[in-house]
Structure 1
Amino acid sequence: MTVSDEDLAIVAEQLGRAPRGVRAVAARCPSGHPAVVRTSPRLEDGTPFPTLYYLTCSRLNSYVSRLEGAGLMKEMTDRLATDEQLAERYRFAHESYLAERDAIEPLGTTVTAGGMPDRVKCLHVHVAHSLAAGPGVNPFGDEALEQLAQWWPSGECASKVKN
């Protein structure tokens, strides 16, 4: 996982602003553009930034927002209260995320991102985690990607920045 100047320029185009704290491209779109970046646990000014994986693909962000708008996060959170195996797998995702972040720089907190491990607060975080870590680590990211399979990944996701 590396990040080039071209990757940073594309991420800036995707986000509509300069990216902050980018350490690496953690996953790419089918077209080769960055889809997920791994960020530093602290921004350049020292501010804690617990979101280790950040979804940058504009097209995928739009699709994930549709799932959120349809109430998927509430349904997922409700399932945590009734499905012990799912809750255990989600806790593992939280612990994995925390261990990866703390291996870079411990923040002295067990807060990760996306509501882990007790609720689903931001589906974008979970999709980013699933794309970066691969299937089987984050159950809710995996589920969201399965629901989006008919739309993503396919096609050109972002225009390349010309140097």
Structure 2
Amino acid sequence: MDSPDVSKEDLKIIEKQLGRIVSNALNVEERCIYGYPQVIKSFPLKDGKPFPTLYWLTCPYLVEEVSKLEAQGKITEIEKIIQNDPELRMQMIRAHKEEIEKRMKILEGELNSLSKNIIKKLKETGIGGIKNFSTIKCLHLHYASYLVGENNPVGEIVDRYIGKNYCDDKKCEKL
């Protein structure tokens, strides 16, 4: 793995945000208006196995807001929107393919040491390790991708639902 560009302070904050240690963070891709990590980029392997999450939403406020959307059945709703709009469907397929390309670029120096099976899985699975690009596994992953500037139609829809992508600063004081 390339040497991560995440400070020890950021790693401590990310651990508090997620409630667990993150051992494959490469860098903080997006920060909130208060300077805390919102999205991290993860190394595509963890413990020698494919790690399907390239962009990981870490902000507790946003994680909670997106979880509420999932609880309201928005995954199914957004899947229908995407499936009924050929342009959005093509954008979604492109988003998956671009993430695969980014993942493989990160792994360029390590491909010779990986099994053909792992390489195949990394090349065939999109955002969040999904194989069927017309379905949605998790809104958090798509929203994280969108927040870092990727052209992700699911993330863009999530952003419209949420409206405000930062918390009241009093919530950040816990970090």
User: Could you tell me the TM-score, scaled by structure 2's length?
Assistant: 0.82
Structure 1, gaps ≥5 residues long: none
For 1:100 and 1:69, locate their aligned partners in 2 and report how far apart those are by CA, in whole Å. Answer: 30
CA contact (8 A) 1:60 1:152 kept: yes
CA contact (8 A) 2:96 2:126 kept: yes
CA contact (8 A) 1:93 1:138 kept: yes
In the alignment, does 2:116 pair up with 1:117? no
- Equivalent residue for 1:128, pick from 144, 147, 157: 144
Provide the residue aligned with 1:102 in structure 2. Answer: 104
Q: In the alignment, residue 131 of structure 1 is paired with which amino acid?
A: L
Q: Report the Cα offset of residue 77 of structure 1.
A: 1.0
Q: Determine what percentage of the aligned residue pairs are the same residue.
A: 34
For 1:159 and 1:103, locate their aligned partners in 2 and report how far apart those are by CA, in whole Å. Answer: 37
Higher mean C-alpha deviation, range 28-37 or range 103-112: 103-112
Q: Report the Cα offset of residue 113 of structure 1.
A: 2.6
CA contact (8 A) 1:53 1:128 kept: yes
CA RMSD of aligned residues (A): 1.9
Provide closer, same or farther for how the CA distance between residues 92 and 104 of structure 1 changes in structure 2, counting only shifts above 3 A. same
Aligned residues: 157
For 1:147 and 1:79, locate their aligned partners in 2 and report how far apart those are by CA, in whole Å. Answer: 14
Q: For 1:57-76, what aligned pairs fall within 5 Å after superposition? A: 57-76=59-78
Q: In the alignment, residue 16 of structure 2 is paired with which amino acid?
A: E
For 2:144 and 2:57, locate their aligned partners in 1 and report how far apart those are by CA, in whole Å. Answer: 5
Q: In the alignment, residue 32 of structure 2 is paired with which amino acid?
A: C
Post-superposition, which runs of at least 4 consecutive aligned residues in structure 1 deviate over 3 A? none
Q: For 1:10-159, what aligned pairs fall within 5 Å after superposition? A: 10-43=13-46, 45-105=47-107, 107-109=119-121, 110-114=124-128, 115=130, 117-132=133-148, 134=149, 137-149=151-163, 151-156=164-169, 157-159=171-173
Bigger radius of gyration among the two: 2
Q: Report the Cα offset of residue 8 of structure 1.
A: 0.4
More helix by share: 2
Q: Report the Cα offset of residue 50 of structure 1.
A: 1.5
For 1:124 and 1:8, locate their aligned partners in 2 and report how far apart those are by CA, in whole Å. Answer: 20
For 2:173 and 2:120, locate their aligned partners in 1 and report how far apart those are by CA, in whole Å. Answer: 39
Q: In the alignment, residue 29 of structure 1 is paired with which amino acid?
A: C
Provide the residue aligned with 2:114 in structure 1. Answer: none
Q: Deviations over 1:67-122 (max 9, x none)?
A: 11111110111223321111001111111111111111163331123446211110
Q: In the alignment, residue 162 of structure 2 is paired with which amino acid?
A: L
Structure 2, gaps ≥5 residues long: 112-118
CA contact (8 A) 1:30 1:155 kept: no
